[in-house]
Each structure stands twice: as structure tokens, then as C-alpha cells.
Structure 1
Amino acid sequence: MKIYLFILSLLFCGMTYAQTTISGTVSESGTGLPVPGANIKVTGDSAATVSDADGKFSLTVSKKPPFTVEISMVSYTAQTVNVTSANQTVNVSLVGEETKLEEIVVSASRTPERVMQSPVTIERMTAAQVKNTSAPTFYDGLENLKEVHFNTSSLSFKSINTRGFATVANTRFLQLVDGMDNSSPALNFVLGNLVGLSELDVASVELLPGASSALYGANAFNGILFMNSKSPFTNQGISTYFKYGKTYQDAAGTNDYYDFGFRAATAFSKHFAGKINFTYLRATEWIAADERSMTTGGVGHDINQNYDGLNFYGDEVTTFIPNVGQVSRTGYAEKDLNNNKIESVKADISLHFKPFANDFEIILQEKVGLGTTIYQGANRYALKNFLMNQVRVEVRNRNFFLRGYMTSESAGDSYDMRFAAWNVNRAAKSDTGWFTDYATAFQLGSAFYGLDAQQAGIYARKFADYNDNTSPVNGLPALPLTPHGNPRLIPGTPEFKAALNTVTNNPDLTRGAKFLDNSKLYHVDGNYNFKELLKVVEVMVGGSFRQYALDSQGTIFTDYDGVLRYDEYGAYVQAIGNPTDRLKLTGSLRYDKSQNFDGFVSPRIAAVYSAGDHKEHNFRISYQTGFRNPTTQDQYIGLDLGPFALIGSAPDNLTRYVETLPVSAAGQAAGQPSSVTLSGVDAYNNSYTLASVQAFAASGNPADLQVAKIGLVKPERVQAFEAGYRAVINNDISVDINGYYNLYNDFLNQSRVITPYYGVVGTDSSDPNVQLGYQALGFGDRRVYQVYTNSRTEVTSLGFGVGLSKKFFKTLELGANYNYAEFEYDEKEDPSFIPGFNTPKHRVKAYVSSPNIYKGLGFSFNYRWSDEYLYQGSFADGVVPENSVIDAQISYTIPKWKTMFKVGAANLFGEDYIQVIGAGMIGQQWYAQITINP
């Protein structure tokens, strides 16, 4: 026994003697700032560690000097240090990479690979670029990336558009934050960065601008954005920033802008770490104040009695008055229907466990986003105290992950501003009373005062709005008129505020404007990579399951009798092989099935060839398919918007949507009942096209009528062909060229149709039931529906992009890029098809930047230009003029204080410009920022 203990003690002493401890600090060359998360690895040995939040590290090695240690970090050039003595101190300054050859991305193939060898086009933003962005926020800065175009609905709500066919509600674009779908469960599109990341917590951002359904499933259709956060194991410490600035807009004036963020992260041990993030933003909205009329005639009711202002609501309520003409009620400006203040609160907490001495990790996370902003869909919506919450559980290591999360949302105090205006008007005077007063005053003004049509219209509106029966011209005496209600409510008065408050808290759209939504989404996905088991080829498999739970209490969807649920699932396999050291082949196949649709198979094949002595010239070509399932709205919406109703086309939804409508006096006199009941079945199976009914109304010829042939929606499909070339020449010139051609089928579309209250639709004018339908149309007994279907026409789009950048003096980078985008379709095949491409044909962007041009002084300057383009949306159409925008910032870093000061501006020298017809024009934004421990 003594001998055994003696031998053990010798072994222990030997081990102790053989151990060498090295420690040191990793910092950034030039700025002196610490580099957290740098990898420190002993060459030829398994010993490794990472630097902490202060860039410090300590590593114990079971071998004697001399040996070498490699220090590496993404976006920096790796360094090798010789260790010649025990307990040696190693201080290293990493230099930013002068070449992009070794940059690593994960999203393109779900596995780490050099960005130069990505099989598809990819754009990225590193943590260093986030700090150096010229935009007010890193999310705004995405607009300066190649291939990215924004649709701005609000100062705090911006929607990313890549490769076209996008509105503010971009359901063709997917956004993943730490692997979680960032889309609204009910609306199915991304709400900007509402529950995204704080700039303090961004590790990297990767953007795939093309179809990616083969790996990421439904809705990865025209692009996908990945935002990845920092690990609390490698990025520890407390950091914070504060921004103060001013916004300038013609409609809103000059206003304050505040933005504050805080991050705290620590590793309590090598097995347990945690972090928390909090951000708060407050500003004044880009006020939408476009007075252009959406009808024929001039601007303003004084010259156009049927005026419908683009950003005036309530004037959509209109009727035809005999001997007067078409007349609309007086509306309210959007700026009077909300307080035009923006707030955004984001918070998240995560706990990270590494129970074993390897990279196996368990993550528990909760994210909350609370905001007040404006969203534009079919109407303009004030999202007030809108809440989204995400809870995630994930287990992973370098070869696999299994992730489950839930997304829930609450509409809070959100409301529809168009309905708010309608019902504030009605709170003072009913529509019937108002139009009766207008008609009476118009006719009396003409008869007794001798007013012409324009003067009579001004007089009639004055009486209908304010019960004022005095003539507005020539000081003529009052006429004996009796009003049918109270005077119009004046914005800003206590009476107006009280009425608006009542309306916006009532979810009954016949009297209110509030919408309810407590929908949820449940998602599970996983992936396993066999690369350490299969040496010849890298194979991975994965799958996902998702359930939607729609809960609007019947205010948006047809869920009046309880929560509506439906499921989706999918599975995929991918193989990556290298027949030679210069050729990489990728093939993947995915199968997806939604509860309401047939299954869909998405293949992808790609090849990358690397030429040159250092593989600096990379050519790629790929073919892949994408698909998009109809959204929850496409399937289950059942919303009466007054002049028309929206009806989703899920088979069970057609019978779920039912409404009772009053029959006209003429119809009753012809023997019809006082009311009729219609359902979604009538909308889809017994309707004429809107255009043909309008032609019939003008001509009276039944031959003009066309039966609407509407099929139930099914997933839309795209076949995407892409080729590209990436190169780094002379280690400092980067070239990126890509071209694509997309072929779309079953393009999801919306159509307006008209259903007669009685009779049937058809082309046989001798059929009595068809004649009865003609009669219903003639009596005005008809209902307008907006239904969801697939276009019969084939749509194609094509585009190409060229990007160049060059490094000067190691830290200075100059770059520019150009994008071209176009689409085509056969209008004769589907005349009612509205493509909504909403993308400029030509775009140019340029930049010059340096994080450290001289002793901690940095700057960035971005320029972007786009030509005019047609914007088409369910709210409004119009031409967006060409615009030029400049963003710029200068920064100064003091390493010993771990502090960075920054001053910047967006739209530096430009005038107000617009990206979405109906939204507010975008003004200037100036800010000053201090970041501690950046």
C-alpha cells in the first residue's frame, strides 16, 4: 500500500511539474479595446480557452515549454505566440482582417464555412460593424447592405425587402433571432426589431437574399435574416449606451429622440452563465400627412365634395345623393387620431448551462418586446402597447441542436385609425343623419341662395358638420333647417378625446376601432450533423414542427367560438462533399406539410469552385426552390371592414364566416325579404369580378359581367436560379458579383369580387335565377368581398448585383455596389393580378469607413440612391420618387476608459422622402451617443 501511494505521489508530482500556466490579455490593435471571446489554443494539443469580457485569459497546459499558442477571432487576423517559459504572460493585439477570405458564416448551409465558399449570395454584419454603423441603430444600418431595400411604415417599424414582392407586411421574408422566428403569430410577418436584439448583444448578422426553403422551410421565400447574440460565457461584463438626438420632419417639426441600452453578462463558473438585456427608445413619429385625394377631383372638400384624402380617415364613408352627386363625410387627419409618439421596450434574460467538460450547452431564454408604433396594412393601425413574448429552451453542441420555443402576442390597446375616424364621426351624428343634412342644405342653398354647385357644397358641409345654417357667402340670412345630430367633434377638445378613447376601447367595429389578439405560435426544430462520423461527405438531417393558435375573439379571425389551431411540419437532409480540394458540392432536400395543404418538396443543389493559388477566386451556381404557405390571414381572416369584408379561404373558414345584410326597399318591393344571410361560400362561389360589375353599372349590358372563378388558396412556389463570383484580389480588393432568375407559380393574390344578395351568377341571361342576380345588382343589393386566391399567371423576376471594396492603410475601407431588379408577367392572362413588386429597378450604394483611422478616431459614411418605382399595397398605390440618402458618423474611443463617443446623422443633407405610399415621409435624424465597455 505504501508503495502504491508512493507511486501515485510521484505521478502527481510529475504531472504538477509538467503543467505550465500562461495568462495574458487580447486587445484590438489601434484602439486598445479588449477582445472578448478570442480563442486561445495550444498548437498540437487539446488545451484551449477563450478570453473574458476584459480580454483576459488563463490557460493551464500539461506540457513543458517551448510550444506555440494560436490566438484567433472572427474578423481579426490570427496570431501565433511562442511560449518559452512557465507562467509566461502573453499580451496580444489582434489586427482587423485585411482579407475576407477567412470570414466564417453558418446560415447558408447550416454549418460553418468560409463566406467565400458559400453556395449562395450572403451578406453579413459583424459586431465590429455594428459598433461602427452610421445609422441610428444597427437594424437601420442593414439598409446599407447590398441587396437590401426597406419599406418604412414608422420611425421604429421598418420592413426588409430583398428581391421584391414585399409590402410593410413582408410575409415572404423570414427573420430568426437566436434561431427563433421573429414573426407575429397572427400577422405572420416580422415587426422590425420589436423583439430582436440590442446592439450591445449582437454577435453577428447574416442575410440570405434568396429562396432558402430547402433548409428553412415555409416562408424562407425571398430572403432570410439571422441575428445571433453574444454568449455570456465569452462576452462578460456590464455594458451600456445612451443616445440623445433630434428628428426633423416637415409634418412633425423638431422633436427629441432617446435611446438607452444595458447589458450584463457573467460566467458564475465554467458550467453556468447568464445575461440580461434591456433597451428603451422614445421618439416622435414620422407623421403621415399626405393630402392627395384617392378619388378623382381636387384636394380638399371645398373643391371636391367626394374628397378622400390619403392620410385623412372618415372620408371613405361616401354615398350618392340624387341631384347632388357622390359625397363623402368630412374626415380626420391621421395626426389627430393618435399621439404620434413612439416607444419601444425590449428585455431578455437567458441562463446557460454546460454540465460537462465539453461544448454541450443548455439554454433557457425569455424575450419580451413592448412597443407603440404604426403599422400599415389594408388600413393604418396604431399599435399601442403591443406586446410580443418569446420563451426558448435549447440543447446543443457543435454537431446538433434541439430547440423549442413559444411566441405569444397581445394587441394591447391597438386600434384601426380608419375605423376610429368613422366611429368618432358617428358618435356625433349618424351617417344617415349627416347625409340627410348635407342633401337638404345643398338643395336649399341652391334654391333659396342661388349658390352654384361648389358654393352649395361648401354650405351643405358646413351645416352637416356643425349644424350651422348660415350661408358661407354674401352674408345671407340663415335658413330654417333642423339638424339630425350633434356638431362635428373638434380634434384636441375634451369631447373629441373622450369620444376617441371610447371608440378605441371598443372591439365592435360597427361602433369601435380596437382589435384584439392573443395568438400564439409553438415551434420545435432540430438538426444533427454527422461530420465527425462520416469523413467522406458531411451529412446533416433535421426537422421541425409548428402549431398556430389563433385567438382574436372573433375580431380578426373567425375564432368567435374558441381558439383556432393548425399545424405544419417538415424534415430535410443535406449532403456536402468535396470531390477535389477546389470543388464543393451541396445537395439538400426538404419535405413540408401544412394541415390545410398538400405536402411540398424543396430541393437545392449548388456547386462552388475555388480557383487561384490561395483559392481567392470562387465561382458558384445553384438551383433551389422555395414555397410560402398562405398566412393565417389568407386562411382564417373574417373581418367586416364596412365597404367590404375580408374572408380567408381555408375550407372550413368559408362556412365559419356568416353575416346578415339588409335588403333595399326596392328589393323588398320586388318580393325579397328584409334581410339576407351570406357566407364565405357565397363570396367564393357566387360572385362577379369587381371590374365587370363596374362595367355593367356603366353600360347596363349583362354581357359585361364576368363570373369570378376563385379557387381556394394553396402555397405559392418559386424556382430560383443563381450564379455568382466572389474574390479577394491582392489581399485588399474584394469583388462580389451575383445574378438570379426566379420563376413564380401560384402567386398568392387578393381579389375584389361582388356577390348579389339573391339570385345566382352566370352567363345565361335567360336563366331566371341569373336574371334575379342582375336585379340585385341593379337595386344595390350586393356585397363587396376581398378574397384570397392564387394568380393564374406565371411571374418571373431577375436581377444582378455587383459589389467592390478595397482596404487602405489596414483600417480604412472604401466600397460600392449596384443592384438591378425587374419582373414580368402576362397581364392578359390575369388582368386583376396586382404584383406589388415595390422595388426600385436601379439601386446604388457606396461607403467609406474606418473604426480607427487615427488614435481611436473612427468614422463611417454611407450613400444610397434608388430610382423611382411603383408601390402597390392594399392601403394605397402610387409612385415613390427617386431619392438619395446620406448617413454619417464619427466616433472616438478611449481604451483606458472602455468608452466610445459617437455623433451621427441619418439623411444628413436630404429632404423628406418616402418609401411606402400612405406612410409618413422620412426626415432627418441626428444623435449623440456614449457607449461604455463597447
Structure 2
Amino acid sequence: MRKLVTITLFCALMFIASSAWAQNSGTITGTVTDEETGEVMPGVNVSLVGTTKGAATDKSGIYKITDLANGQYRVKATYLGFGSFESDPVTVEAGKTVTVDIQLEKTVWSGNEVVVSASKGRSAEKITDAPATIEVIDDQQLSQSASFNTGELLSRLKGVDYVRTGVYGTGINVRGFNSAFNTKVLQMTDGRLSTLIATELPFGLMEPKIKEDIARTEVVLGPSAALYGPNAHNGLINTISKDPRNTEGTTVVVGGGSQEQFTGRLRYADEITEGVGLKITGGYTRGKEFAYTDTVYFGSQASREIGLEPDFDVLKGEAGLYFDVGDESDIILNYGGSNSNYIGVTNAGRNNIKDWQVHYLQGRFSSENLFMQVNHTWSKTDDTFAMNQRTQNYLTFKNAGFSEEEARERSFTEQWAGSSPSNGVALDRGSVFKDDSRRLAAEVQYNNNIGNFNYIIGAQYQRDIANSKGTYLLDSDGNSDIVINQIGFSVQLEKTLGFGGLKAIFAARGDNHDKYGFNFIPKAGLLRVGEKGTWRFTYGKGIAAPTILNMEMNLFGGIVLGNGEGFTLSDGSTIDPIDVETIQTLELGYKGTPLSNLFVDANAYYNFSEDFLSPLNNIVPQAFSGGPIVTKRGDQPISELQSGIVQPGDFVLTYLNYGKVNTYGFDLGLNYFINDEISIKMNYSYFDFSLDKSDLSNDANGDGEVQTTDLPINTPKNKISLGLNVNKDKFFGSIFGRWVQSYNFFSGINVASETNRDITVGGDPVVENARVGRDWNDGPLGGFVNIDISGGYKFSDYVTVSAQVTNLFGSEVREFVASPTIGRMAMIELKANLPTF
């Protein structure tokens, strides 16, 4: 409470000081419109030449630049896809307002788009001035893509490790430490967390938003925890939706393609009365995955997965009301939900996602200086199951002579220990995941400036309430929720230094977690803003707090347990409970236009990472040869958690903290605009690491030897992409190719590696095209060149046809473990944009 009072008083003092300053300064305002259509243009960046002053236009296309000293200024406006505008000098006097209206002409030039994610301010900033490396997928790219899957466009961004797990499944990671259960890149939509409650995994396919309602997606590379909280560890994906009051009309999309794909989507938006906007969206997508069945091992026995359902489908929709409440203020109310069926890859085998529902309610208030929101997210499934564990269970029943029908039915919940139906006992080895979890979150943020000193202060609250109905968490019979509260306070200060175009930025977050107490997360940067671009040097810290699953997991009769309490062994030794993982990053970057038709975005970074959260490890590997066993988890006897096991405590898989490693790399992006219709884009990324093999804290599996598999780097060292984009009259098209260097991947039971007999996993040496531990090793990932081609034709303002072919030449594209080889895919869509009358 004392912290909250202090912040409130600080806000009041800043507001009073800001008001006093405003009386002695002038203002420039105006409206920005599309020269061709006359429509107002929200989100346009407007700045004053030779200064760092600027603003972005609001939903009505209006901008306002305040706190200007007496003098003459030239107004400049830039926006993605439009030519820049620069006015004649205008004179500003104290206490007066000058109006400069602007019309922009459409072009293919990009590089000065407006973003909000890098600084989390409600007022936008030019991407070149952002204190972070940030990539944008804009409305034009989305609208010209002939696919329901927006994740495909992430492959075209530099610094991003993009993988495809099938027809529908895509994944993203940033700057290393990837896994088949990756929570290090935070996903948000319109300010709310788009992550599952217990696991913190991104919604991904479950996200209720359809492509046609996305204004843009911004991807921030590197730690963003100082502004967005824990788990914005390696990066952030922030999706911003469209406002119905300036995107009116009805959009209907129907599409189909190979792998029996079909999609139908609808977006309706209208200003139903002055200042009140309504939008309703919906979508249904289905198809069939590429043929692939994973191998499951039970002892020395190998089998194919049972219960494999290659068909996928997702039903989703949203509704929103937008109210203009005066004085540039809005109240926005939204609901969204989805129901999904597909195959999900994890580091313990594949899951059959069955009727997994995600819903949210969100309320927002925003004005020029204040933003507030509250949201409620809930997640529900009753029939999702782990195919790997179910197959193992099935084999025990079949081996004991049970009928096919009974073996399949009982494999959902039990494993048979015995030689026949009459000689044995059923063990608790449930393969079904149930979920009935909720999240409550709230945020308040205030931003303002005093002269050239800008500040943003905020507070966030999050309450996660997980319930697995006793299936995969330590919530007993499902009647006891697992509750974690977090509260955070953040501040960001930005000061123009007044010489050489220098600008200093400092941000910090104090975050208090029920389990992990207080963490201080700083960020700082120095920018030099010039006419042709901006140089920046930044420092940032990120943390990854263990998820509820990491802390409170209970799988397969207590064999897999979360490590939120620590363990005691029979020899009296202890294993500490897991703590937060940290990363600190130094980054040097440049973004700008050194030549009139060349846009350059480059960065180099160095990371210091420590206290990794390990993959699942057996913490008593010597138990079967007379070594110590586990006797307690926290204060609870292990026998109570492994009640169906003959010798409780002789096998426990859990998570640990371990090690430290330095990683480094650089990214280079070049956009060359041949003319107003044709552009070429090239991206290159390099990543490497330095591992001290003499430091036994890096020995994740406790075998006394540090191996490269102990640290889940799982990232290609080099990757390159090249694209050609054409927008000519009513035609648009692109050719995009990428090369990903081959690389080794280790995550839980999953192994994808070249032969290296000096490395062992699960007791087996790593050999390509052979069994390694509990997985079949098909060899390294990557090592391919992939070409995609797309095009479309806009027949009128109302009808557009687009088509694309992914993996045009049918290359051998193997992007992820426990996933099929990605073959050639074709898709065609018909889109009708109907005006609202």
C-alpha cells in the first residue's frame, strides 16, 4: 500500500508540473488523410524536423504535438506504405495552437512505421527511434497472405527462430535456448497475456483473433521484462487489433488447399452511432496433418503411437464495443473464445489436443495520458491426452493378454504391472490432461512529459488460478486450486539531452511473486537520433519465473514432479527448489536510411545467462545400483505421492536450476526499394555461445561431465532469407526463400542430432538414424533451402483473390522434433470487402 501511495503522489506532482509547463508553450495539431481516398489515417508518425518532438495520429487521424517553445518548425509525417510529407516552416507562439493538415500519397517505401511495443507507451514512436530491435508484420503483409496461419509470416523476420511442426502448427523463439516446451517469448494481444495459465505456453493456434482483425504484430527481440514482467525473457510478440470505428465494413474470406485445408472467416465492423463502434469476428479452419507417427518405447519394445488423429480444426470468434467518451478517451469491451483440436509437441512426447477451449473478457480505458485495463482469461479441456504415455500404458495391457478394446480404454488412466489379467495390479499412470484454470489481471499506466523529459509509470496485478482436476498438477482431486499472485511496478524515464541528437532511456520493474519474492529488473539505453537513422546502445535484464507446471506438476503417478519445494534424499542430502532464470543483454544497434532507397536494420548483442531451468531430469540416477533414493518432496513423504510404486523414490523426474553461459550474435536486415512497386529484402542472423565445460554447475544431468546437451541452446548458427515483393496496380506478389543451417536439438526425450558417441542421452550414445534414450534420432534439424511463392489480384475495391505455395520445390524440410517433414502446400483464398451503409 505504501508503494501505491508513493506512486500516486508522484503522478499528481508530475501532472501539476506538466500543466504549469503547458501554459508557457505552444501546440501544433492537424489531421492526416489518404490523398487518394480521403480517409483519415490512424497511427501515422508526425514529427518536427531537427527535434525529437513528435506524436502519432489517433483513431480519427488527428495528431497533437504539445509543449513547444516559441519558434519556427517544419512538420514531417511518415507512414508505412506512403510517401513522406514535410511542410513549410510554421510559427509557434506560447499559449497558441497552429493547425497543419497533411495528405499522404501511397508508395511501397517502408522503414518509418510507428510502433508501441518497444517502450510500452500509449503514445507511439518511430521504429527507428525505438530503444530495442523490433520487427513489424503490418496490415498489408497480413492482407496479402493467402493463409489463415499468421504464424507463417514470422519466418520472414530476422533474429527469429521460426519452426513449423505441421500444416497448422508454428513456433517462434528468439536468440537461442529453444525447446519443445518454450515459454521464453511472451505473447500478448491488446495488452492482455495470450498464454495458458498453468504452463505459460503461448496460445498460438488457440488465440481467438482472426487474421482480418489484426492491425499489426510487433516482435521485440531481447529481454523486455522491465516493461512487461516475468517471462518476457528472450522477447515479446505483441498483436494489436483494429478499431472498428476507422475500419468499417464486412470482410468475408473463403479458402482451401492441399492437405484438405478449408477456412472461412468473417469480420463485421461499424460505427453504429456517433462515437460507438461494434465489431464481430468468427472463423473456422480444418485440415489434415502430414502423415507422421512417432515411435514410442517401453523398455526394449518399440511401438507406434495409438490414438493418433491427424485431422485438426479450430473454431474461434470475438466481439467488441468501442465507446468514445470524449476528450480523446475510449472505453473498450471485448470477449473472445476458441475451441481447438490438433497435435501438440512437448518435450515428453506428443499430445492430442482435444476440444481445448480458451476464453477471455477484457475491459480497457485509454486517454492521451492514462491507460487502464482488467481482463479475465479461462482455459478448459477434459479429454486432451499424452499419446506417448497412453501408448506405453496400452502396451502393458496388450502384453498381459487383455483385449484390444479393454487395453485401449484403460490406457487413458492406468498401466498394468503383471503377466496376465489375473496376475498383476493396475498402476496410476493417467495420460489424460484436464484443465479448468483462470487468470485475473489488471493494469494501470500513466504517461506524460515535462519539456523534453518523458515518463511512464505503471502497476500490474496478476492472479493465476490453476486446476487440473487432479490429472497433471498437485491439486489432489481437483478440488484445491493452485493460486499464484504477482504484482509489479514499473517506471520508464526518457530524456532528450539537447546535444548531438542524444536521448537517454531508463526503465525498471519491481516484481513481487508469491513464491519467488521480489525481483528488480532494470533496462537502460542511450540513443543518438540523426537525420538518416538512429544508433542505440542498450542494457536489459530478463527473468523467467518457473511456471505453475514447473513448480507443481504431478504426472504418471508421481514419477514426474514439480520442484517448487525441493527434495530430500535417503543419504540426507537435499535438492534445492527451483528459482528464477536470468539473462542480461548488451546490445548495439542501428536502424535507418543511409541511402534514400535503402533501409538498414542491424544489431549485435552479448548475453549473460544463468540459473537455467533444466529439462526434466532423473534426480536419483544411481538408485537402481544402490545409490540414494528420494524420501521427501518438501515436507511430504514421497510414498504419499508415489503410492502405487513398489519402491517409492527410486525414480523421480523434476526440474533443476543449473549453469551459466554466454551467448552472442548479430542480425542484419536490408530493405532495398528499386522503385515504388518493387522491393528486395534480405535478412541474416548469426548466433553462437561460449560454454565453460570445466564448470560443473553446467552439468544439467548430474553425470559428472559437462556436455553440449546440458544447455538447451537448440539454435542454428546461421540463417539467411531473401525476398522479392511486387505491388503493381492491382497485382501483388512475392518470392521468399530461406536457408537454415543444420543444428542439433535436445529437449527432454526429443533428440535430433548428428552422430556423436561422446554424448549420451538416456544411457545411449547419440547416433543418427537410431534409438537414443526414449526417442528415435532422425538427425539434425534445419539444413534446408525453402522457397515460398505468393500472389494475388485485386479485381475491385470489393473482391481480391490470393494464392500461395509453401515449399515450392518440395524440399526435404524438417523443422522440429516429433514432427513430420513439411512437404509442398498450396492455398487459395477469395476475399470480399463489403462496405457498411
Q: TM-score, normalised by structure 2?
A: 0.78
CA RMSD of aligned residues (A): 3.3
Q: Map of 1:265-280 to 2, 5 A cutoff?
A: 265-280=269-284
Q: Deviations over 1:735-774 (max 9, x none)?
A: 1110000001211114312285999849xxxxxxxxxxxx
Q: What is residue 563 of structure 1 aligned with on the other side?
A: 481
In the alignment, structure 1 residue 423 sits paired with structure 2 residue 393: yes
In the alignment, structure 1 residue 98 sits paired with structure 2 residue 109: yes
1:34 CA displacement: 7.4
Q: What is residue 650 of structure 1 aligned with on the other side?
A: 564
Q: What is residue 568 of structure 2 aligned with on the other side?
A: 685
For 1:525, the aligned partner's letter is: E
Larger strand share, 1 or 2: 2
CA contact (8 A) 1:376 1:875 kept: no
Q: What is residue 837 of structure 1 aligned with on the other side?
A: 713
1:215 CA displacement: 0.8
Distance 1:169 1:34, change over 3 A: farther
Larger-gyration structure (1/2): 1
Q: Measure the CA separation in 2 of the matches of 1:890 and 1:827.
A: 50
Larger helix share, 1 or 2: 1
Q: What is residue 260 of structure 1 aligned with on the other side?
A: 264
Q: Deviations over 1:87-119 (max 9, x none)?
A: xxx99773136352x321111112321111111
Q: What is residue 738 of structure 2 aligned with on the other side?
A: 864
In the alignment, structure 1 residue 883 sits paired with structure 2 residue 784: yes
CA contact (8 A) 1:838 1:872 kept: yes
Q: Measure the CA separation in 2 of the matches of 1:212 and 1:759.
A: 47
Q: Map of 1:520-669 to 2, 5 A cutoff?
A: 520-531=438-449, 534-560=450-476, 561-580=479-498, 582-611=501-530, 615-640=531-556, 645-651=559-565
1:81 CA displacement: 11
SS in 2 for 1:368: strand
CA contact (8 A) 2:80 2:109 kept: no
SS in 2 for 1:143: helix
1:416 CA displacement: 1.1
CA contact (8 A) 2:430 2:556 kept: no
Q: Measure the CA separation in 2 of the matches of 1:837 and 1:51.
A: 47
Distance 1:509 1:521, change over 3 A: farther
Q: What is residue 706 of structure 2 aligned with on the other side?
A: none
1:403 CA displacement: 1.0
In the alignment, structure 1 residue 211 sits paired with structure 2 residue 77: no
Q: What is residue 389 of structure 1 aligned with on the other side?
A: 359
Q: Map of 1:63-102 to 2, 5 A cutoff?
A: 74-77=80-83, 94-96=105-107, 98-100=109-111, 102=112
1:376 CA displacement: 1.8
SS in 2 for 1:107: coil
Q: What is residue 614 of structure 2 aligned with on the other side?
A: 749
Q: Map of 1:885-900 to 2, 5 A cutoff?
A: 885-896=786-797, 898-900=798-800
In the alignment, structure 1 residue 804 sits paired with structure 2 residue 670: yes
Q: What is residue 338 of structure 2 aligned with on the other side?
A: 369
CA contact (8 A) 2:381 2:433 kept: yes
Q: Measure the CA separation in 1 of the matches of 2:466 and 2:686.
A: 39
In the alignment, structure 1 segments of 5+ residues that lack a partner are 1-21, 53-67, 83-89, 247-254, 290-310, 319-326, 431-484, 490-494, 655-683, 689-706, 763-778
Q: Measure the CA separation in 1 of the matches of 2:84 and 2:700.
A: 58
SS in 2 for 1:746: strand
1:895 CA displacement: 2.7
CA contact (8 A) 1:153 1:168 kept: no
Q: Measure the CA separation in 2 of the matches of 1:25 and 1:748.
A: 51
Q: Measure the CA separation in 2 of the matches of 1:207 and 1:286.
A: 29
1:348 CA displacement: 0.7
1:134 CA displacement: 6.9
CA contact (8 A) 1:200 1:240 kept: no
1:39 CA displacement: 7.6
For 1:558, the aligned partner's letter is: L
Q: Measure the CA separation in 2 of the matches of 1:91 and 1:214.
A: 36
Q: Measure the CA separation in 1 of the matches of 2:806 and 2:38.
A: 27
In the alignment, structure 1 residue 820 sits paired with structure 2 residue 723: no
Equivalent residues, number: 702
For 2:342, the aligned partner's letter is: T
SS in 1 for 2:529: strand
Q: What is residue 652 of structure 2 aligned with on the other side?
A: 785
Q: Deviations over 1:875-914 (max 9, x none)?
A: 3112214011111101111234x21111111111132422
For 1:823, the aligned partner's letter is: F
Distance 1:571 1:197, change over 3 A: same
CA contact (8 A) 1:880 1:915 kept: yes
In the alignment, structure 2 segments of 5+ residues that lack a partner are 1-29, 49-54, 62-73, 89-100, 416-425, 630-645, 702-709, 753-779
Q: What is residue 295 of structure 2 aligned with on the other side?
A: 312
For 2:742, the aligned partner's letter is: E
SS in 1 for 2:355: strand
For 1:266, the aligned partner's letter is: D
Runs of 4+ in structure 1 off by over 4 angstroms are 22-28, 32-41, 48-52, 68-74, 78-82, 90-93, 501-509, 755-760, 779-782
CA contact (8 A) 2:76 2:85 kept: yes
1:271 CA displacement: 2.5
Q: Measure the CA separation in 2 of the matches of 1:711 and 1:511.
A: 27
1:35 CA displacement: 7.7
CA contact (8 A) 1:344 1:371 kept: yes
Distance 1:70 1:108, change over 3 A: closer
Q: Measure the CA separation in 2 of the matches of 1:349 and 1:285.
A: 30
Q: Measure the CA separation in 1 of the matches of 2:491 and 2:58.
A: 33
Q: Deviations over 1:8-49 (max 9, x none)?
A: xxxxxxxxxxxxxx9999476xxx8978758899x9xx9x99
Aligned residues with identical type, % of pairs:
22
CA contact (8 A) 2:496 2:504 kept: yes
Match 1:163 to one of 157, 169, 175: 175
Q: What is residue 254 of structure 2 aligned with on the other side?
A: 242
1:206 CA displacement: 0.7
CA contact (8 A) 1:585 1:606 kept: yes
Q: Measure the CA separation in 2 of the matches of 1:108 and 1:25.
A: 26
In the alignment, structure 1 residue 733 sits paired with structure 2 residue 745: no
Q: What is residue 585 of structure 2 aligned with on the other side?
A: 720
Distance 1:631 1:27, change over 3 A: same
For 1:849, the aligned partner's letter is: N
Distance 1:530 1:92, change over 3 A: closer
Q: Map of 1:356-505 to 2, 5 A cutoff?
A: 356=326, 358-377=327-346, 378-430=348-400, 485-486=401-402, 489=404, 495=405, 500=408, 503-504=411-412
Distance 1:164 1:50, change over 3 A: closer
Q: What is residue 285 of structure 1 aligned with on the other side?
A: 289
Match 1:519 to one of 437, 453, 456: 437
For 1:645, the aligned partner's letter is: I
For 1:76, the aligned partner's letter is: F
Q: What is residue 929 of structure 1 aligned with on the other side?
A: 829
Q: TM-score, normalised by structure 1?
A: 0.70
Distance 1:718 1:708, change over 3 A: farther
CA contact (8 A) 1:576 1:587 kept: yes
CA contact (8 A) 2:137 2:153 kept: no
For 1:867, the aligned partner's letter is: Q
SS in 2 for 1:130: helix
Q: Deviations over 1:599-627 (max 9, x none)?
A: 1111111011123xxx1132110011111
CA contact (8 A) 1:154 1:375 kept: no
